[in-house]
């Protein structure tokens, strides 16, 4: 593919902005509440090139200011969970994931919203990150590039989890396109003004991009550095109690996305001993010391970085859309 | 000031996990228990995991804040089926480490806490106690690369509600910033060092050393400020302003910004010049405290040594 090649992609008429998927990640909670307040006032606006749904994903967890009530909502969006048998004793979040799938999906269908932006916070020093399942979703990659340009004073990275559509488990996988906007560091249960403002700006610029895209603007291609998750490393643990026996080493703490080399310090035990990275390949650490991951057995995640070339894109015209539709229909007939 | 002497300080309790998600104390106590630390020189040491149930679920508390359950009233309230776990636990701890105000109480109690606020290493005292002031000065002198400060809450013993009210002499060690449910190695190292210095000081004291007279600055809390809230929902409508965030102990003047609303408006400080503490502490949202305001005062203390019979 040439950098000059121009790819035409379908319009994005419906966007969903979701916050409080984890009830104690407060920037998204307060931003969604603020956007809902503003939305009430802006009902009589002139015709918008995009309709925006604002959603508080996990109201019960938000009300309690906990990550979840019964189970992590952001692991409840696999096809299997969404379409599995329904029972009276289902955990709250499974019931809720099905409600959200009906509202924003169904996942995988033509009725699904075009873009889901799911707002998250992390205790890790990650700046602003996009987290997606694809490294070739040009919509998400172009939105990312747009935000990098519009918000240059915030470190921004694009993280890719190489998980198939069948296995994808998070809320952002319900839309035709989707990504999590993850911003840190912020303690859970706390809202930091600078983090809130960054998230507000990120969402605003994302919506501006969608409006520009739908209105026919051409977005030039180029290169994006993509971090693809390779593996996780757990804390060393006591074999009997399963309690952690070391903390992230002070030299690694807060150094998300700084290359970790073989033999670099990883952990410091409570008696002061240093444990070192035993891998053979230098990798990029992220989600270093994320609070919610202690129970998932993850002290840090590791990624490879590579440069991805993205094409120039613009929205399909109506004729192009009809031509494509006819092509699909005739393919269906055959 | 006349020199003052105190009886030997031979028993100390080090408590962690009074709030189950403030992890430094949890892991330091567990480590000391693993190393079977029970005596260092002249000092016998009890290590206590204050709220085991809250620690198990990594929450501040299960039913009610344990660190508000040590008032005289709650310590003597009758136990029924509906008594919250933490009230019962407070009475157990009072039997083990107290009774509060009695001769049998442990000589010194140190309660380990974390805060999401940028408070560095902060000792919290309830009474002006020359011993505590001497230890504060000692820790300050031994840890010059860490911001070490003291905060005082003036509360009479009968109203004192926190765990450290049980010891004859006590203070809390509050260290931040650390998110709840997270363990940072740098914070762990700071708290461990402060505890080690305290035990070293006690041994020196018990060996008969005289500690010179001096003075220290400490911060006495005078009031608290809540977040602006929506009058209907009660939800906060602003966050701590970026210019105040992380600036604990920096003088706040009238006209300085304190809040930035979610719609972008700035709220300014009105009233006298005071020092903000516990700025944006996670657990205080539900207690309706955005930050405390304190006066800075100088406390003088005499030379002290152990009382010889």
ipTM value: 0.96
What DSSP character marks residue A293?
Answer: G
B290 assigned to some structural domain: no
Q: Tokens 């950098």 map to which residue?
A: A3
Lowest mean pLDDT of A145-154, A288-297, B120-129, B288-297, name the range.
Answer: B120-129
Token output for B228: 């602006």
Give the pLDDT band of residue A44 (cuts 50, 70, 90): very low
- CATH, residue B214: 3.40.630.10
Burial class of residue A4, CB neighbours in 10 A (0-12, 13-18, 19+): exposed
* pLDDT score of A2: 54
The verdict on whether omega for the bond into residue B99 sits within 30 degrees of 0, i.e. cis, is yes
Distances (CA, A) of A112 to A16, A47, A101: 10, 21, 8
Put simply, whether A53 touches B (Cβ < 8 Å) is no
Domain for residue B120, yes or no? yes
Please indicate if the annotation marks B169 as binding a ligand: no
Question: What is the pLDDT averaged over residues A286-297?
Answer: 97
Answer yes or no: is B130 within a domain: yes
Residue A198 vs residue B154, higher pLDDT:
A198
| pLDDT of A40 | 63
Do B263 and A34 count as a contact with CB atoms less than 8 A apart?
Answer: yes
- The structural domain count of chain B equals 1
pTM of the full structure? 0.95
d(CA B104, CA A62) in angstroms, rounded, equals 46
* Bigger pLDDT: A204 vs B129: A204
Residue A4's pLDDT is 62
Those of residues 170-209 in A touching chain B at CB distance below 8 A are 185, 187-194, 196-197
Statement: residue A166 has pLDDT above 80: yes
The answer to the question of residue B267 being in a domain is no
Q: In chain A, what residues touch B289 (CB-CB under 8 Å)? A: none
Q: Tell me: pLDDT of A320 over 90.
A: no
- Which pLDDT score is estimated for B157? 83
Q: Does the residue B260 lie in any domain?
A: no
With a cut of 50, which residues of chain B have pLDDT below it?
none
Choose the weakest-confidence range: A42-46, A74-78, A265-269. Answer: A42-46
Identify all chain B residues contacting A270, using CB atoms and an 8 Å cutoff: 27-28, 30-31, 188
Residue A329: predicted pLDDT? 58
What is the predicted pLDDT for the residue at A331?
A: 52
Contact B262 A271 (CB under 8 A): no
pLDDT over 50 at A152, yes or no: yes
pLDDT at residue A327 in the model: 67
- Residues of B designated as active site: 174
Give the pLDDT confidence score for residue B110 in this predicted structure.
98
Reply yes or no on whether the pLDDT at A264 is more than 80: yes
Task: Say what percent of chain A tops pLDDT 70.
Answer: 94
Burial class (CB in 10 A: 0-12, 13-18, 19+), A25: buried
Q: What is the pLDDT of residues A207-221, one digit of tens each?
A: 999 999 999 999 999
Which residues of chain B are at the A interface, by a Cβ-Cβ cutoff of 8 Å? 27-28, 30-31, 35, 58, 116, 177, 179-186, 188-189, 235-236, 239-242, 245, 260, 262-263, 280, 282-283, 285
Q: Could you tell me if residue B159 is inside a domain?
A: yes
CB spacing of B239 vs A192 below 8 angstroms: yes
What's the pLDDT at B245? 98
Q: Where are the alpha helices (DSSP H) in chain B?
A: 23-34, 52-56, 72-75, 85-97, 130-142, 185-206
Q: Do A248 and B179 touch (CB under 8 A)?
A: no
Q: Is B22 flagged in the annotation as binding?
A: yes
pLDDT of residue A170: 97
Q: Tell me: is residue B19 an annotated ligand-binding position.
A: yes
Say if CB B303 and CB B131 are below 8 A apart.
Answer: no
Give Dmax (Cα) for chain A: 70
- The confidence score (pLDDT) of residue A323 equals 84
Given a cut of 60, whether residue A108 has pLDDT beyond it is yes
User: Shortest CB distance from A250 goes to which of B27, B186, B240?
Assistant: B186
Residue B44 lies in a domain: yes
**Is residue B243 in some structural domain?**
no
What would the pLDDT profile of A115-144 be if each residue is shown by its tens digit? 999 999 999 999 999 999 999 999 999 999
The answer to whether the CB atoms of A196 and B239 lie below 8 A apart is: yes
User: Encoding tokens for residue B60?
Assistant: 């501040």
pLDDT in tens, B226-279: 999 999 999 999 999 999 999 999 999 999 999 999 999 999 999 999 999 999
Distance (Å, whole) CA B205 – CA A299: 42
Cis amide leading into B135 (omega within 30): no
pLDDT of the residue at A88:
85
Which residue, chain included where needed, has tokens 């390949």? Answer: A281
Domain that holds residue B185: 4-218+299-306
């Amino acid at each position: 593919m040439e950098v000059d090649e121009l790819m035409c992609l379908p319009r994005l008429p419906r966007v969903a902005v979701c916050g409080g998927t984890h009830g104690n990640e407060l920037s998204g909670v307060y931003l969604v509440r603020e956007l809902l307040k503003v939305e009430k006032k802006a009902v009589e606006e002139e015709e918008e090139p995009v309709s925006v749904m604002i959603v508080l994903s996990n109201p019960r967890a938000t009300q309690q200011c906990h990550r979840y009530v019964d189970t992590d909502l952001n692991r409840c969006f696999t096809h299997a969970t969404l379409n599995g048998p329904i029972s009276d004793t289902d955990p709250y979040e499974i019931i809720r994931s099905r409600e959200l799938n009906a509202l924003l999906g169904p996942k995988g269908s033509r009725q699904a919203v075009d873009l889901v932006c799911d707002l998250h916070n992390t205790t890790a020093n990650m700046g602003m990150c996009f987290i997606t399942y694809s490294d070739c979703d040009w919509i998400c990659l172009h939105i990312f590039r747009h935000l990098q340009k519009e918000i240059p004073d915030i470190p921004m990275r694009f993280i890719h989890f190489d998980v198939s559509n069948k296995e994808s488990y998070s809320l952002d996988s319900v839309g035709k396109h989707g990504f999590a906007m993850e911003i840190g560091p912020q303690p859970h249960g706390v809202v930091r003004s600078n983090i809130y403002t960054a998230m507000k700006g990120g969402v605003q610029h994302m919506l501006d991009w969608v409006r520009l895209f739908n209105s026919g603007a051409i977005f030039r291609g180029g290169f994006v550095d993509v971090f693809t998750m390779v593996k996780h490393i757990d804390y060393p643990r006591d074999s009997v109690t399963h309690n952690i026996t070391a903390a992230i080493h002070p030299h690694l703490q807060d150094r998300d996305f700084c290359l970790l080399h073989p033999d670099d310090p990883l952990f410091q035990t409570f008696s002061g001993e240093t444990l070192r990275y035993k891998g053979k390949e230098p990798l990029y650490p992220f989600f270093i010391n994320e609070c919610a991951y202690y129970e998932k057995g993850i002290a840090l995640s590791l990624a490879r970085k590579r440069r991805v070339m993205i094409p120039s894109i613009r929205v399909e015209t109506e004729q192009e859309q009809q031509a494509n539709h006819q092509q699909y229909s005739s393919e269906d007939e055959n | 000031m006349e020199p003052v002497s105190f009886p030997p300080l031979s028993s100390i309790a080090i408590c962690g996990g009074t709030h189950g998600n403030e992890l430094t104390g949890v892991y330091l106590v567990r480590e000391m228990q693993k190393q079977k630390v029970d005596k260092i020189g002249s000092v016998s040491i009890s290590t206590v995991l204050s709220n085991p149930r809250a620690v198990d679920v990594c929450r501040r508390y299960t039913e009610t804040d344990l660190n508000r359950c040590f008032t005289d009233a709650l310590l003597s309230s009758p136990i029924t089926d509906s008594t919250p776990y933490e009230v019962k636990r407070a009475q157990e701890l009072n039997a083990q480490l107290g009774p509060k105000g009695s001769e049998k109480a442990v000589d010194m109690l140190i309660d380990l806490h974390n805060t999401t606020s940028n408070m560095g290493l902060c000792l919290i005292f309830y009474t002006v106690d020359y011993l505590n002031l001497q230890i504060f000065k000692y820790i300050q002198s031994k840890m010059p690369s860490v911001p070490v400060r003291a905060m005082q809450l003036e509360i009479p013993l009968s109203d004192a509600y926190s765990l450290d009210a049980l010891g004859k002499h006590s203070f809390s060690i509050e260290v931040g910033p650390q998110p709840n449910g997270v363990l940072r190695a740098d914070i762990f190292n700071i708290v461990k060092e402060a505890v080690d210095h305290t035990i070293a000081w006690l041994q020196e004291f018990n060996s008969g050393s005289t500690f010179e007279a001096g003075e220290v600055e400490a911060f006495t809390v005078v009031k608290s400020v809540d977040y602006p809230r929506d009058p209907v929902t009660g939800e906060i409508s602003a966050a701590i302003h970026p210019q105040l965030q992380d600036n604990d102990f920096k003088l706040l003047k009238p006209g300085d910004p304190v809040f930035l609303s979610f719609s972008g408006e700035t709220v300014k400080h009105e009233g006298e010049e005071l020092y903000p503490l516990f700025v944006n502490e996670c657990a205080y949202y539900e207690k309706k405290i955005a930050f405390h305001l304190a006066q800075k005062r100088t406390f003088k203390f005499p030379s002290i040594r152990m009382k010889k019979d």
